């Protein structure tokens, strides 16, 4: 029997990876330091969740959950750097593209880190569902 939370988490990770590659490779948006950190956490999730879905491994939450929570923290902080000017003085982005920069700002609040935050939060919720079903 197919695990819907596992499938949905995998699809969310694929969407996030393809979206980040679209923004950088197709749109020409240069990733900042925090964008790279978020990619470092998200990209392996595509592989882990894909293999877990193929094998119907419902214990994958043990490995994915810590990564998705770390991703939530990174993207949440990055989003705060963009939206709260008082935090920009604490930014670790000292060279290259500033982490406070906003390539997109749909509806006045949807930025690339916000999209990553949504993806990591959704994956975390799906992993919590798997855990609760155990």
pLDDT digits (tens, 9 = 90+) for 7-35: 999 999 999 999 999 999 999 999 998 99
pLDDT at position 91: 66
| Residue 46 or 34, more confident | 46
> For residues 77 and 110, what is the distance between their CA atoms, to the nearest angstrom?
14
Q: How confident is the model at residue 101 (pLDDT cuts 50, 70, 90)?
A: confident
What's the pTM? 0.92
Cβ within 8 Å of residue 71, ≥6 positions away = 38, 41, 42, 45, 116, 119, 120, 123
């Amino acid at each position: 029997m197919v695990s819907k939370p596992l499938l949905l988490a995998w699809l969310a990770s694929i969407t996030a990876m393809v979206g980040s590659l679209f923004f950088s490779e197709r749109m020409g948006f240069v990733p900042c330091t925090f964008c790279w950190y978020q990619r470092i956490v998200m990209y392996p999730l595509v592989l882990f969740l894909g293999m877990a879905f193929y094998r119907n491994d419902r214990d994958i939450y043990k490995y994915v959950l810590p990564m998705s929570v770390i991703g939530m923290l990174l993207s949440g902080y990055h989003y705060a750097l963009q939206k709260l000017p008082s935090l920009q003085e604490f930014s670790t982005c000292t060279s290259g593209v500033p982490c406070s920069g906003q390539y997109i700002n749909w509806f006045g609040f949807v930025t690339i880190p916000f999209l990553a935050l949504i993806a990591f939060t959704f994956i975390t919720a799906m992993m919590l569902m798997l855990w609760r079903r155990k």
